[in-house]
Amino acid sequence: MKKPLLVVLTGAGMSAESGIATFRDSGGLWDKYPVMDVASHDGFVRNPSLVHEFYNKRRRELVGARPNDGHRALVELEKLYDVEVITQNVDDLHERAGSASVLHLHGELMKIRSMKHPERIYTLTHDNLETSVETRDPHGDPVRPHIVFFQEAVPNIEPAIEIVGRADVLVIIGTSMAVYPAAGLVGFARRGIPVYYIDPNPAPVADNITVIRQTATEGLETLLNILT
C-alpha cells in the first residue's frame, strides 16, 4: 500500500543542534559578517576572494559536524511515510543522516560550479574543501560556491511548490518563516491537511498550523508521538 506523503521544510534550527552556526539569530553569522558582502551577487562580484574564504570556513565547520537526533528522526519517519525534505540549509546533514529525498533551495555547501557553464557542478571532498579565485574546474573554468546568493533566483522553488502541493502532512522545522520565497511554500499546501511548526521561538502563523514550541530534536519526538 502506498504510504502517505510527509513533506518537511527545514531551516537553520534543524542543524543548530549539530553546532552549525545560524545566520539570523543573535550572535549568528550575520552579526559577524555583513550579509551583502559574503552572500550576495554584488558582494561576490565586488570581492570574490572574501566570499570564497567565507564558504571555506563554513565547509571546515561542516566536516566536523554530525547529524543530530532530529535529522535521524526524519529518517525514522520514512518507515511510515514517504518523506520529502525541502531544506533552506546548505549543509549535507540530512543526506548524511540517511534521508532518501532532499531538495536544497539555497544551494549546497559541499558543491561548487563552473561560472561559465552553471550546469557543471562538482562535489568537494573532506580532503579537498577549499576554493579561491584561482580554482579551475576540469575544463579550465573559474568556479564559485554552489550557493543561491541574495539577488539571485531560487532555481528549485518550482519543484518545491510541486512537492508541497502533493503533501498529506506538512512539517516546518527551525525556520524564521521570514525568508522568501521559501516562507511562502506553506501557502501551496492543500487545504485541510495537517500542518505542524516546530521551533522554540516560532514566528506568528495561521490558526490552522499546530505549533510545537521545542527544538528540532525535542519537537520531532513530540511529533512522532502525535503521528504514531
- Residue whose grid cell is 552549525: 20
Cβ partners under 8 Å of residue 213, min gap 6? 199, 200, 201, 202
Report the C-alpha dihedral over residues 103, 194, 172, 73, rounded to 10 degrees: -80
Q: Does residue 126 carry a catalytic annotation?
A: no
SS3 sequence, 72-128?
HHHHHHHHCCEEEEEECCCCCHHHHHCCCCEEECCEEEEEEEECCCCCCEEECECCE
Contact status, residue 200 vs residue 213, Cβ threshold 8 Å: yes
How many Cβ atoms sit within 10 Å of the Cβ of residue 123?
11
100: its cell numbers: 532518501
Positive or negative, the CA dihedral 32, 33, 34, 36 is negative
Is the peptide bond between 67 and the residue preceding it cis, with omega within 30 degrees of 0? Answer: no
Q: Which of 52, 94, 104, 106 is catalytic?
A: 106
Maximum CA extent, the chain: 55
For the annotated catalytic residues, the residue numbers are 106
